[in-house]
């Protein structure tokens, strides 16, 4: 196995590993150690079957059900995300960490490309630990103990039918789900590495606990834009069979929507997480 960093801040491409086969305990241990160290891992290979994709996901955690999109009929843990030639809005656009609105947000996500455009459709990732480290000591002190109120309403709410149209997915693939609201610390500590990272986004963080949205918004905007600074980021280019897995606890991502008139189809597994602390 060879692990080649993609950028200085985060991300690595793993070579010499075939996720379509059974891996030894030592191989999976090495892969998981690279996952913690680099936060985003990229594997190139053949398009995996649903069973192979679920087996690959088990290297990193336990597959979970996604609350807003129904999974494949025989594999409910896997959701399919498609943008057709006629769609103009993509799924996952805008910087965010997955399911921050849940009491126990996703530990990570494993995404595989099935169909990709000839150009475009890349995904950007940001290292929120590096972003936190770059803050002044004074701002770090101000953020200590600050809680963010995150909700799902801005992205989903009762707009399941609209989301289905925008994403090129049949309406019957969109699950009926409630609006989720959860409070999480703005500075999150990784439960395995002890690293601290920013846990705030324009997509999900509505305001700070005990403060109004109007009072909260300027600082939310500053922190969200700070996370996106180029020196904290890497870019992943997809081709059919590319598998990318990321640590949702210390990263954010943004799917670029720069491939109008082309098709992009992905299969995703979300990994069960724990309550941020």
- Average pLDDT (154-168) is 46
- Average pLDDT (236-241) is 97
User: pLDDT band at 155, cuts 50/70/90?
Assistant: low
Q: What percent of the chain has pLDDT over 90?
A: 83
Q: What percent of the chain has pLDDT over 70?
A: 91
- Average pLDDT (58-84) is 92
pLDDT of 169 above 50? no
- Average pLDDT (17-28) is 95
- Work out the end-to-end distance of the chain between its first and last CA atoms, rounded to an integer number of angstroms: 33
* pLDDT value for 162: 40
| Better-scored residue on pLDDT, 23 or 167 | 23
* pLDDT value for 87: 86
Superfamily of domain 2-271: Clavaminate synthase-like (3.60.130.10)
* pLDDT value for 171: 43
How large is the greatest C-alpha to C-alpha distance in the chain, in angstroms? 53
* pLDDT value for 159: 43
User: pLDDT band at 199, cuts 50/70/90?
Assistant: very high
- Average pLDDT (231-253) is 98
pLDDT of 170 above 50? no
pLDDT of 167 above 80? no
- Average pLDDT (226-247) is 98
pLDDT of 21 above 70? yes
- In the chain, where the domains are located: 2-271
pLDDT, the chain, mean? 91
- Average pLDDT (206-212) is 96
| Better-scored residue on pLDDT, 205 or 164 | 205
Q: What is the pLDDT of residues 132-150, one digit of tens each?
A: 999 999 999 999 999 999 9
């Amino acid at each position: 196995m060879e692990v080649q960093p993609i950028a200085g801040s985060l991300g690595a491409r793993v070579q010499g590993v075939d996720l379509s086969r059974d891996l030894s305990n030592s191989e999976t241990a090495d892969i998981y150690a690279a996952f913690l160290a680099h936060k985003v891992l990229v594997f190139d290979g053949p398009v995996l079957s649903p069973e192979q994709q679920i087996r690959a996901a088990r290297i990193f955690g336990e597959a979970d059900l996604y609350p807003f999109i129904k999974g494949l009929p025989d594999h409910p843990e896997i959701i399919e995300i498609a943008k057709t030639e006629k769609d103009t809005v993509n799924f996952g656009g805008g910087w965010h960490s997955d399911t921050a609105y849940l009491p126990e947000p996703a530990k990570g996500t494993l995404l595989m490309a099935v169909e990709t455009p000839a150009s475009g459709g890349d995904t950007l990732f940001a290292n929120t630990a590096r972003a936190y480290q770059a803050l002044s000591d004074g701002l770090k002190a101000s953020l200590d103990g600050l809680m963010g109120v995150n909700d799902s309403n801005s992205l989903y709410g009762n707009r399941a039918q609209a989301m289905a149209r925008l994403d090129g997915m049949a309406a019957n693939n969109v699950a009926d789900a409630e609006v989720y609201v959860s409070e999480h610390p703005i500075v999150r500590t990784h439960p395995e590495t002890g690293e601290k990272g920013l846990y705030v986004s324009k997509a999900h963080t509505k305001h700070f606990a005990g403060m109004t949205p109007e009072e909260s918004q300027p600082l939310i905007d500053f922190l969200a834009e700070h996370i996106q600074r180029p020196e904290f980021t890497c870019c992943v280019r997809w081709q059919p069979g590319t598998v990318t897995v990321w640590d949702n606890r210390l990263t954010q991502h943004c799917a670029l929507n720069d491939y109008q008139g082309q098709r992009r189809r992905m299969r995703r597994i979300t990994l069960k997480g724990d309550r941020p602390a």
